[in-house]
Amino acid sequence: MSHIRLIHIADLHAGKTNDRRLNRNEDLRYALDQILEFAKENRPHYAVVAGDIFDKKVPDAESISLITEFFIKLSQSGVKVVAIGGNHDSALFLRSQTHWAEHFDIKLFPSLDRKNFVLRDGDIAFVCIPFVSERGITDLSEGSDKAKIQYGELMRKLILYGLKQVEGVPYKVLVGHLYFAGSKLGNTEVEVTVTDSYALSQSALPPEFDYVALGHVHRYQRLEASPAEAYYTGSLYQLDFGEAGQEKFFNYVVLEDNRARVERVKLSLLRELKKVTLKRGQKVSDLAKELNKNTYYWVNIEASTPQEFLLKKQEVERVFGDNLLRVYPLGLSNRRRKLFQDPKRDLEKLKNPIEMYREYLKSLGREWNGKVEDLLKELMEEITT
């Protein structure tokens, strides 16, 4: 049996912007070019994309073009693409792309379809589990704790059902946009447990899978408690300040002799995000010494009064220029701090909840629910009187 080579990437988030100012598609293109270069040299048979291809449900033209070009270039290098939808992706949109994609050996799995979630190709089979909404498959009427258990049980059964479909295939790969307990998020060491959220237990990953390609968590990691060889490869560039300082990677996997040889490949970054603090008594010019034109900043400013904060903020804005994305006061009381938060953000919050709910349902393509509207109205009345 010959060996099989694949690359595993996830969380591309095409169309991501930071603070409504910085378009991150250049960062994404920079990462994708490195992946294409790698693919040309190493000739993988497959590129597995584990969800969150786009950042927004309705992707903009620039992002669609970027992703389309990437997939087609992979295809032209002889790499077959297997991609699933993430929680950021619109299943409807991805489905609209399947018609042309199939002609380029690009197999898209927009949403979970129990009749069509396995791709068998010679000696290898991919079991593909796009993001499944918690609300979509659980019954919240019995309380959220029960719903969490129910979600975990259903997903575990689904994975086992998938495994059954690929029995006898030499190489089995599970591709999932899933959230596992014990995964490390962001820069902190905070781990999420099964009881905290709709997280799955790592023990739900059967060792019969030779490799598990995951998306959803943006920090690179191997799932240490998983009986199968399972990885989150994380996002391809620092998507937001929660990922500041993080290095980024993708995986190159060689399946051979019933085992997966995993090589972590580091991506170089076009731009980095960084959080810095202007301490009391520190000069802005001192802080500016580390100003790097390829780094975008969140500057915390220590200040005792709003006036002091405002003065320092103006200076920081002048010195950091376009590389300043966010300014935040430290040391002011909550009430005072509120006065200086982004006014636009507060306006968004002031939107009528009923309107917001209506927009939300519309974005999901769901029908308007009159009962919920009545309930919202009642609650709003209670609050305002």
In the complex, the smallest distance separating the C-beta of residue 10 from Mn ion, rounded to whole angstroms, is: 7
- In the bound state with Mn ion, the residue whose beta carbon lies nearer, of 86 and 152, is 86
In the complex, the smallest distance separating the C-beta of residue 16 from Mn ion, rounded to whole angstroms, is: 10
Counting contacts by CB under 5 A, is residue 229 touching Mn ion? no
* Three-state SS sequence of the chain: CCCEEEEEECCCCECCEECCCEECHHHHHHHHHHHHHHHHHHCCCEEEECCCCECCCCCCHHHHHHHHHHHHHHHHCCCEEEEECCCCCCHHHHHHHHHHHHHHCEEEECCCCCCCCEEEECCEEEEEECCCCHHHHCCHHHCHHHHHHHHHHHHHHHHHHHHHHCCCCCEEEEEEECCECCCECCCCCCECCHHHCCCECHHHCCCCCCEEEEECCCCCEECCCCCCCEEECCCCCCCCHHHCCCCEEEEEEEEECCEEEEEEEEECCCCEEEEEEECCCCCHHHHHHHCCCCEEEEEEEECCCHHHHHHHHHHHHHHHHHHEEEEEEECCCHHHHHCCCCHHHHHHHCCCHHHHHHHHHHHHCCCCCHHHHHHHHHHHHHHHC
In the complex, the smallest distance separating the C-beta of residue 249 from Mn ion, rounded to whole angstroms, is: 15
- In the bound state with Mn ion, the residue whose beta carbon lies nearer, of 27 and 52, is 52
Stretch that binds Mn ion, among 3-11, 20-28, 127-135, 291-299 (CB under 5 A): 3-11
Stretch that binds Mn ion, among 10-18, 240-248, 255-263, 280-288 (CB under 5 A): 10-18
Site size toward Mn ion (CB under 5 A) is 2
Counting contacts by CB under 5 A, is residue 11 touching Mn ion? yes
In the complex, the smallest distance separating the C-beta of residue 12 from Mn ion, rounded to whole angstroms, is: 9
| CA–CA distances in Å: residue 281 to residues 83, 288, 311, 331, 351 | 52, 14, 13, 13, 40
Stretch that binds Mn ion, among 7-15, 75-83, 296-304, 336-344 (CB under 5 A): 7-15
In the complex, the smallest distance separating the C-beta of residue 49 from Mn ion, rounded to whole angstroms, is: 12
Question: Where in 44-63 is the site for Mn ion (CB under 5 A)?
Answer: 52
- In the bound state with Mn ion, the residue whose beta carbon lies nearer, of 215 and 329, is 215
In the complex, the smallest distance separating the C-beta of residue 280 from Mn ion, rounded to whole angstroms, is: 37
**Which amino acid, residue 252?**
Y
By Cβ distance, which residue is nearest to Mn ion?
A: 52
| CA–CA distances in Å: residue 240 to residues 297, 326, 334 | 11, 11, 24
In the complex, the smallest distance separating the C-beta of residue 32 from Mn ion, rounded to whole angstroms, is: 16
Q: Are 295 and 272 in contact (CB under 8 A)?
A: yes
- In the bound state with Mn ion, the residue whose beta carbon lies nearer, of 11 and 27, is 11
In the complex, the smallest distance separating the C-beta of residue 52 from Mn ion, rounded to whole angstroms, is: 4
- In the bound state with Mn ion, the residue whose beta carbon lies nearer, of 118 and 217, is 217
- In the bound state with Mn ion, the residue whose beta carbon lies nearer, of 11 and 210, is 11
Stretch that binds Mn ion, among 8-16, 97-105, 179-187, 265-273 (CB under 5 A): 8-16
- In the bound state with Mn ion, the residue whose beta carbon lies nearer, of 11 and 243, is 11
- In the bound state with Mn ion, the residue whose beta carbon lies nearer, of 52 and 210, is 52
- In the bound state with Mn ion, the residue whose beta carbon lies nearer, of 84 and 284, is 84
In the complex, the smallest distance separating the C-beta of residue 24 from Mn ion, rounded to whole angstroms, is: 13
Question: Where in 72-131 is the site for Mn ion (CB under 5 A)?
Answer: none
In the complex, the smallest distance separating the C-beta of residue 283 from Mn ion, rounded to whole angstroms, is: 39
**Which amino acid, residue 68?**
T
Give the sign of the dihedral formed by CA 186, CA 188, CA 194, CA 198.
negative
What are the φ/ψ torsions at residue 312 (nearest 5 degrees)?
-70, -35
- In the bound state with Mn ion, the residue whose beta carbon lies nearer, of 214 and 332, is 214
The binding site for Mn ion (CB under 5 A) comprises 11, 52
